[in-house]
A = this chain, B = another copy of it.
Amino acid sequence: MSVQKSPSATKTRDAERSRAVILKAASEEFSLFGLGGARIDRIAERSGLNKRLIYYYFSDKDQLFQAVLEAAYRKIRESERDLNLEALKPAAAIRKLVEFTWNYYLENPDFLTILNSANLHKGRHIQESNHARALNSPLIELLGEILEKGRISGEFRGGIDAVQLYISIAGLSYFYLSNNSTLSIIFGKGLMNPKAKSERLSHMCEVILGYVLRN
């Protein structure tokens, strides 16, 4: 067993690393400037690789954006899968989902801006994706089960739609974080300092639990 990899293996691994490096650089760039404002030249610089290579791997700017978008979805879906909400009691599960959403957005700010760009373009990039199904959250079904379990136990009110709730949980975090710079200016106070963030999380938990809990 030699430590020396076969040439082809090396090549392959380099290729994969290059792809990954480009994808990361592109994610940052798209996140900072949007699809229209992103520059292939800067992505090349950021990645330390040649601009031509970006075209070699991703064909053009739109397909690069699509790849970035898919990777972003894949990543959050993986995190969601790791949540293990099924092990928790209904109320605890809901709370954990709110906290997770908030923390994930906080730790992955690129995700928000990339979603924004994707929406600015009417979801064209998702639609053209071959992996579109994979983008659906594994949580929707699970959330439905949790709501049902809570309803049966009498804790939760009935008639709650899982998709609506999922969107609401996301929206409460999303709007605050995605728009924090203008909101901070308009309200004249920093929305991103630790105290403000902790208050926001408490508020959101109260809103969501205040809604799902029977009283």
A residues near B (Cβ < 8 Å) are 33-38, 113, 115-120, 122-123, 126-127, 132, 135-137, 140, 157, 161, 163-165, 167-168, 170-176, 178-188, 199-200, 203-204, 206-208, 210-211, 215
Q: How many copies does the complex hold?
A: 4
Q: Are B120 and A184 in contact (CB under 8 A)?
A: no
Distance of A128 from chain B, by nearest CB (Å): 10
Specify which chain B residues have a CB less than 8 angstroms from the CB of A113 in the assembled complex: 120
Distance of A170 from chain B, by nearest CB (Å): 6
Which interface residue of A36, A120, A136, A170 has the most chain B CB atoms within 10 A?
Answer: A120
Distance of A29 from chain B, by nearest CB (Å): 11
Q: CA of A115 to CA of B178 in the docked complex: distance in angstroms?
A: 10
Query: Please, which residue of chain B has its CB at the minimum distance from the CB of A208?
Result: B207
Instruction: Specify which of B33, B126, B182 is in contact with A36 (CB 8 Å cutoff).
Output: B33
Distance of A79 from chain B, by nearest CB (Å): 16
Q: Are B136 and A187 in contact (CB under 8 A)?
A: yes
Specify which chain B residues have a CB less than 8 angstroms from the CB of A182 in the assembled complex: 115, 118-119, 123, 126
Specify which chain B residues have a CB less than 8 angstroms from the CB of A35 in the assembled complex: 34, 36-37
Instruction: Specify which of B36, B38, B165, B211 is in contact with A211 (CB 8 Å cutoff).
Output: B211
Instruction: Specify which of B115, B157, B170, B179 is in contact with A119 (CB 8 Å cutoff).
Output: B179
Q: Are B34 and A203 in contact (CB under 8 A)?
A: no
Query: Please, which residue of chain B has its CB at the minimum distance from the CB of A140?
Result: B187
Q: CA of A212 to CA of B194 in the docked complex: distance in angstroms?
A: 25
Specify which chain B residues have a CB less than 8 angstroms from the CB of A199 in the assembled complex: 161, 164
Specify which chain B residues have a CB less than 8 angstroms from the CB of A176 in the assembled complex: 167, 171
| 11 intermolecular pairs with C-beta atoms under 8 Å apart | A33-B36, A122-B181, A132-B185, A164-B203, A165-B203, A171-B175, A174-B175, A207-B211, A210-B210, A210-B211, A215-B215
Specify which chain B residues have a CB less than 8 angstroms from the CB of A34 in the assembled complex: 34-37, 117, 120
Q: Are A184 and B116 in contact (CB under 8 A)?
A: no
Instruction: Specify which of B123, B186, B207 is in contact with A168 (CB 8 Å cutoff).
Output: B207
